A = this chain, B = another copy of it.
Amino acid sequence: MDREELRAIIEEVAAGTAGVDDALARLAGAGIDDLGFARIDTDRERRTGLAEVIFAPGKTDEQLEALVGRCLELHGKVLVTRLEPERALPLLGTFSELRFHDAARVLEARPDAEPAHPMVAVVSAGTSDLPVAEEAAVVLEHLGHPVDRVVDVGVAGIHRLFSQLDRLRAARAVVVAAGMEGALPSVVAGLVDRPVVAVPTSVGYGASFGGVAALLGMLNSCAAGIGVVNIDNGFGAATLVHRIASSDGGDR
């Protein structure tokens, strides 16, 4: 609850149109939809620009169905991440408005009228990084951004990147997904002036330690202008890019 809502309630109290107990109850219960096992944060989109998203792992099938149904009722849209295809199937049967993105493991229903946000780029170093890059790309599309996908431009043959720089410069921000040594974001950030959101992937073997090597490479980049998200967290990269790109212009 922010300052304006708070002021509105207190002004009602001052005006006598709301009682004290009513005001207290509204202050306590605002922005929560209680499902028993979960409390949907119904206020989140207004507050942070992004409605609550359902992270599938660790939730039972029953919980998933209840959450998806309630989100559709509340918002007319829903976004579920890290969903295995076999768990998506029954949900697709129950809710006809859903669509499943296999490579990205994302289930979603988009709002009818999509907002028109700036174009963003999603770059992947190698073929094995595609699932993570796709999670970012699909979430960004869900949020209303045209996405330009640039694939297989890893640093072992860096001329493949150079021929694509104009595409990166045309984007409002750039997601770069890379595993192994995670050097691609450094090179990209040294060549273009867009904000770079780096996603380490767990691609690699041996001393890659499930993406830790790539994560450390990105955190220690000698290039400026890079923000890092968690390993394999395409979703997190997308939400940061959305905040960067959706708040252009406006009243600030």
Contact = CB atoms under 8 A, between A and B. Distances in A.
Interface of A: 1-3, 6-7, 10-11, 13-14, 16, 19-20, 23-24, 27-32, 36-39, 41, 43-44, 47-50, 52-53, 55, 57-59, 63, 82, 118-119, 125-131, 151-160, 162-163, 165-166, 170-173, 180-183, 186-187, 189-197, 200, 202-233, 235-236, 239-240, 242-244, 247-249, 252
26 contacts: A3-B165, A10-B10, A37-B152, A38-B151, A47-B193, A48-B189, A50-B193, A58-B127, A172-B247, A181-B181, A181-B182, A181-B216, A181-B217, A182-B217, A182-B220, A194-B243, A195-B240, A200-B206, A205-B233, A207-B215, A214-B220, A217-B217, A219-B231, A224-B236, A228-B229, A244-B244
A227 B198 CA distance: 9
B195 A243 contact: yes
A147 to B, nearest CB: 14
A38 B97 CA distance: 32
Given A38-B151, A216-B216, A224 B249 contact: no
Given A3-B166, A180-B222, A230-B219, A244 B155 contact: no
A37 B130 contact: yes
A224 to B, nearest CB: 4
Given A39-B151, A152-B39, A181-B186, A50 B224 contact: yes
A7 B32 contact: no
Contacts of A24: 3, 6-7, 10
Number of copies of chain A assembled together: 8
A159 B127 CA distance: 26
A16 to B, nearest CB: 8
Given A228-B229, A240-B227, A247 B216 contact: no
Contacts of A39: 151-153, 157, 160
